[in-house]
Homo-oligomer: A and B are copies of this chain.
Amino acid sequence: MEKKKVTIKDVAKYAQVSPATVSQILNGQAKRFDPKTVARVRQAKEDLGYEANYLARKMVGKQSMMIGILVPDITNPFFNTLVKGIEEVLFQAGFIAILGNGGFDGAKEEQCLFEFAQHGVDGFIIASPSISDKALQTVLTAKKRPYLVLDQKAPDGQSDALLLDDRAGGRLAAEYLAKKGHKKVALVVPKVLPANLKRRMQGFLEYYPEALVLTTEFSKAGGKASVPKLLTTKVSAVFALNDELAFGIYRGLAEHGKQVGSDLSVVGYDNVEMCEYVTPALTTIKQPLTLLGKTAAKLILARLKEPTSAYQQVMLPVELIERASVIQNN
């Protein structure tokens, strides 16, 4: 019952070689050894169920096979879908995911990154839009570990960058609304605007320079809170900067006895699963979240393999998913 942890020594003893030999053979130097020895060692590994201890490995400069992931709120569908994608490819590659929930709190974010580093992660994926350059500088470049900032301009040339085509997303929403005949439209946006949201907004505003801009909390509650103000205006459609906001607007409208669609058309952003399940189903901009996560993981893994290759920047496209929340306006 008391299955002791099997170490490299056990394998060595079992295979009647030295620990050094085991290490060599199990780490790709196999061809330098007598095939018989190699076979014996491999057999021993199997028989004993040996797996190298990552901590000990990390101690001698190898990888710990851990990646730190920092998100602002794991409860938000955007981020948890992302994390799911990340975790999936990480896991397949034998890495594990360390999760930090920054809560939009700069201090905690920085602290998280610090802890990650302290615990020996090999790299970081940062999906917190508000992360400060300072935090990045201090914690990351100082430690010389690769990192990846998602959906945000790389703050410097110190990392790969993975972006979503936010501006196109904003434009898509605008074009669609225009096509549907909406002249007076509003934009519901959070009070503080991270770079990606700013881009969405710009894309939209290029098309509708006169759009009414309403600021609120970046949450369902915020969306709901914006409804009374929305109702005093004569806009026929609203673009919510994410689906959460849109759901809040749905609710606010319902509480005022109004109908989404006939009373006010709405377009969201993200295409979270719930979009299909609200009534009317929400027309939204789809971001390839799972793909984003997977790509992020792949990028960081690739960099770990080739630490010196040129930093790359990849941009993922977005698309409009038409459902039923926007009606023709004349």
Chain A residues within CB distance 8 Å of chain B: 1-3, 5, 51, 53-56, 58-59, 64-66, 69, 73-75, 77, 80-81, 83-84, 87-88, 91, 94, 96-101, 108, 111-112, 115-116, 118-120, 141-143, 220, 224, 247-248, 250-251, 254, 273-274, 276-279, 281
Contact = CB atoms under 8 A, between A and B. Distances in A.
Contact of A120 (B54, B100, B116, B250): B54
Contact of A74 (B51, B74, B108, B248): B74
B65 A55 contact: no
A53 B87 CA distance: 25
Given A1-B142, A277-B248, A96 B115 contact: yes
A96 B116 contact: yes
Nearest to A278: B278
| The 3 nearest A-B residue pairs measured at CB | A3-B142, A254-B279, A99-B99
Given A73-B84, A220-B273, A250-B279, 12 more contacts: A1-B142, A5-B143, A53-B118, A59-B59, A74-B83, A74-B84, A75-B81, A91-B112, A91-B115, A94-B115, A96-B98, A247-B274
A83 B98 CA distance: 12
Indicate how many identical chains form the complex: 2
17 contacts: A55-B58, A59-B59, A66-B119, A73-B84, A75-B81, A75-B273, A87-B101, A88-B101, A91-B112, A96-B98, A96-B99, A96-B100, A96-B119, A98-B99, A220-B276, A278-B278, A279-B279
A218 to B, nearest CB: 14
A285 to B, nearest CB: 19
A51 B150 CA distance: 29
Contacts of A281: 251
Contacts of A88: 101
A76 B274 CA distance: 11
Given A53-B118, A75-B77, A251-B279, A87 B100 contact: yes
A224 B274 CA distance: 13
Nearest to A99: B99
Given A118-B51, A118-B54, A120-B53, A74 B80 contact: yes
Contacts of A248: 277
A126 to B, nearest CB: 15
Nearest to A141: B1
Nearest to A144: B2
Contacts of A5: 143
A278 B322 CA distance: 20
